[in-house]
Amino acid sequence: MSNKSFSRRRAGSLAANTTTYVLLSIVTAIVLVPFFWMVTTSLKHQSKIFLFPPQWIPRPFVWENYVEVFTRQPFHLYFFNSTYIAVLVTVGTCLFAALAGYAFAKLQFPFKNTIFLVLLSSMMIPTEVTAIPLFEWMTALQLVNTHFPLIVPPMLGAYGMFGVFLLRQFFITVPSDLDEAAKIDGCTPWTTFIRIMLPLCVPALATLCIFVFLHSWNEFFEPLIYLNSSELYTLPLALSLFTDQSGTEWHLLMAASVIATLPLLVVFFFAQKKFIEGIAMSGMK
Amino acid sequence: MLRSEKWYGYLFISPMVLGFAAFLLGPILTAFFMSFTNWSLFKETSYIGFDNYKTAFTNDPVFWETVGNTLYFSAGLVPLNLLLALGLALLLKNKLPGIGFFRTAIFTPVVTSLVVWAIVFKYIFATDAGMVNQLLEMIGVQGPAWLYNMDLAMPVVIVVSVLKNVGLNMVIFLAALHDVPKMYYEAAELDGATRWNVLTKVTLPLISPSVFLALMLTLIGSLKVFGQIYVMTGGGPGTSTYVLVYYIYQQAFKLYEFGYASAIAFILFFIVLALTLVQWSVRKRWVHHEQ
């Protein structure tokens, strides 16, 4: 290649790269503005929210808004509710999905593939259809206005099935020599699962964990229909408490939104590479 | 040995199988039965055949409006989301310095709670204090009441929804672009193909299975839009953003008309199923599978 065409190509790719950066910066700015706006509003004094021209940086920073979120509502309670529900759902889903995924991938039993296909097909059912009878049943069992419907049905329902599918795919890729060797050494399927398979599937399990935790933490529809008493509220639902007929307290609502979003963004920041890869994988195969 | 493996197998799958029976299969059969009754909190339940379906189709103008609004939402969201996701994936696929930052930033809203996202945008599009109108005012334009305008509310919700979820499709496309063998591009370059030709003749056909997957997921998701409507517009102004799931929610959990709500939920299910089958059947025309 001659020197001239080489430098022309260099110039061309430089221009292309600049265009790429400009376009990406625009989209990124649009996507990040809501976060910026959320954080700055959460630190403004109530009287400064409607100022014109708008204050892009709050003067002064009103950290008291964050204190007020907790004194106005028992926000620590909502935080606790969201956390323990998400943890239980995540642990349960991962354990049961891993057990079933391992059985479908590595154990032999009659009707295995038929059962798997039936479970898989349930991922097609929209939650809106099943929500109505489930609500009736929970009413009959007097479990409405408890956390039970937010923990057990998600764990063993549609999200659980997704987990089974994801982990079965993973266990299939584990060489069969491993579990055959374990079998010869006298391991039962249970000890093989706990000692060999579970440690091996940590990467896949981590992806499923983050997935399920995110979903549970952000879930809105189920808490909305099942919870009446505000002390049982989860974070997404609790946010509505800062809006009423007399208006919205934007500074408190935004502070509460930051509190509800921050833990996830921190986790996501550290896990993002694995997580995005995991999504790309499960989306593709 | 084999005998015990069999029982271990059944034991291991039993939680999920029981969960499937109790929380998926049972409810769907019940919902199907409910949709043929006038099941309600306030009256004796009786079998009424196809009356719920008949009412919805012939005697309930709100139902048709919700169907129209739902399709409007999908028709706006799906192409916008896919085109933007594809464009971003093409920009992000090269390993340039700092590309990881952009990738993460654009994916961040996917992780964020839909409710938080919708609340913040409700504020951004607020009539007086909203950032959009404050920016417009700086250049001397009087901004509209975005979410209180019959013609603007739905487009605003669509744009907000695209920004929330475009990252997911972007990641799917990135993974697909990553798998396209380099030799195709080298061959195209040798042939002197233009960028547009490379995109339409090489890249798009090769990633078409992923485009199909993203299309299906986005379309199905868009037909079930709820949270952003509930938070941003509450179905209003008027009934301009009343969508199917919002209507199901109102009928079932506000009015406790479980029978009618179940019928509408099944109609939604059939719409999803029909569109999925249509997509599936035309798939062969444009989805390219490498041998």
Q: Which of 66-85 (B) contact A at CB < 8 A?
A: 84
pLDDT value of position A127: 86
Contacts of B198 in chain A (CB under 8 A): none
To the nearest whole Å, the CA of A154 is away from the closest chain B CA by 8
Task: Tell me, letter by letter, the H, E, C secondary structure of B133-178.
Answer: HHHHHHCCCCCCCHHHCCCCHHHHHHHHHHHHHHHHHHHHHHHHHH
Give dist(CA A222, CA A225) in Å, integer. Answer: 5
Residue with tokens 């090489």: B202
Best mutation target among A276, A281, A282 (most B Cβ atoms within 10 Å) is A276
pLDDT at residue A5 is higher than 90: no
pLDDT at residue A267 is higher than 50: yes
pLDDT band at B27 (very low <50, low <70, confident <90, very high): very high
pLDDT value of position A8: 59
To the nearest whole Å, the CA of A194 is away from the closest chain B CA by 12
Contacts of A135 in chain B (CB under 8 A): 252-253
Closest CA to A78 of A150, A128, A132: A150
Question: Does A280 sit within 8 Å of B265, measured CB to CB?
Answer: no
pLDDT band at B34 (very low <50, low <70, confident <90, very high): very high
pLDDT at residue A68 is higher than 70: yes
Q: What single DSSP character describes residue B194? A: -
Q: What single DSSP character describes residue A247? A: E
Q: What's chain A's length in residues?
A: 285
How many Å separate Cα B164 from the centre of its chain? 11
pLDDT at residue B1 is higher than 80: no
Model pTM score: 0.90
Between A234 and A188, residue with greater pLDDT: A234
Question: Does A265 sit within 8 Å of B108, measured CB to CB?
Answer: yes
Q: Nearest residue on chain B to A156, judged by CA atoms?
A: B19
Contacts of B84 in chain A (CB under 8 A): 27
Residue with tokens 């060489």: A175
Contacts of B119 in chain A (CB under 8 A): 239, 253, 257
Question: Does A281 sit within 8 Å of B107, measured CB to CB?
Answer: no
Of B108, B137, B248, the CB nearest to A128: B248
Contacts of A138 in chain B (CB under 8 A): none
To the nearest whole Å, the CA of B144 is away from the closest chain A CA by 17
Residues B92-112 pLDDT 10s: 988 888 888 898 899 999 999
What ipTM was estimated for this complex? 0.87
The answer to whether A146 and A225 have CB atoms below 8 angstroms apart is: no
Is B121 in CB contact (< 8 Å) with chain A? yes
Contacts of A132 in chain B (CB under 8 A): 27, 31, 34, 248, 252, 258, 261-262, 265
Residue with tokens 């509505």: A240
Which range among A54-58, B51-55, B97-101 has the greatest average pLDDT?
Answer: B51-55
Contacts of B171 in chain A (CB under 8 A): 276, 279-280, 283
Q: What H or E segment, with its residue span, contains residue A248?
A: strand A247-248
What b/e string do you get for B263-289 counting C-beta neighbours within 10 Å, with b at 16 or more? bbbbbbbebbeebeeeeeeeeeeebee
Of B23, B106, B134, the CB nearest to A31: B106
pLDDT value of position A6: 55
Give dist(CA A141, CA A135) in Å, integer. Answer: 10
Residue with tokens 């909203």: B130
pLDDT at residue A115 is higher than 90: yes
Question: Does B25 sit within 8 Å of A128, measured CB to CB?
Answer: no
Q: Which two tokens stand for residue A260?
A: 């509800």
Residues B175-231 pLDDT 10s: 899 888 888 888 888 888 888 888 988 899 999 989 998 999 899 999 999 999 999
Q: Which of 123-142 (B) contact A at CB < 8 A?
A: 123-124, 128-129, 131, 134, 137-138
Task: For residue A42, give the amino acid letter.
Answer: S
Q: What single DSSP character describes residue A188? A: -
Strand partners, B37: B47
Q: Which two tokens stand for residue B34?
A: 């409910």
pLDDT value of position B189: 85
Task: For residue B121, give the amino acid letter.
Answer: F
The region of weakest confidence among A175-189, B58-72, B238-252 is A175-189
Rg from Cα positions in chain B: 24
Between A244 and B280, residue with greater pLDDT: B280
Percent of chain A exceeding pLDDT 70 equals: 93
Q: Which two tokens stand for residue B216?
A: 């299906």
pLDDT at residue A247 is higher than 70: yes
Q: What is the mean pLDDT of residues A35-54?
A: 85
Taking every pair of Cα atoms in chain A, the longest distance, rounded to a whole number of angstroms, is 81
Question: Does A96 sit within 8 Å of B24, measured CB to CB?
Answer: no
- pLDDT, mean over chain B: 91
How many Å separate Cα A73 from the centre of its chain? 25
CB pairs under 8 A between A and B: 258
Q: Nearest residue on chain B to A250, judged by CA atoms?
A: B123
Contacts of A124 in chain B (CB under 8 A): 273
Q: Nearest residue on chain B to A111, judged by CA atoms?
A: B10
Residues A167-181 pLDDT 10s: 998 899 888 888 888
Give dist(CA B228, CA B96) in Å, integer. Answer: 35
pLDDT at residue B43 is higher than 90: no
Residues B124-162 pLDDT 10s: 998 887 889 988 988 989 999 999 999 999 999 999 999
Of A50, A130, A253, the CB nearest to B27: A130
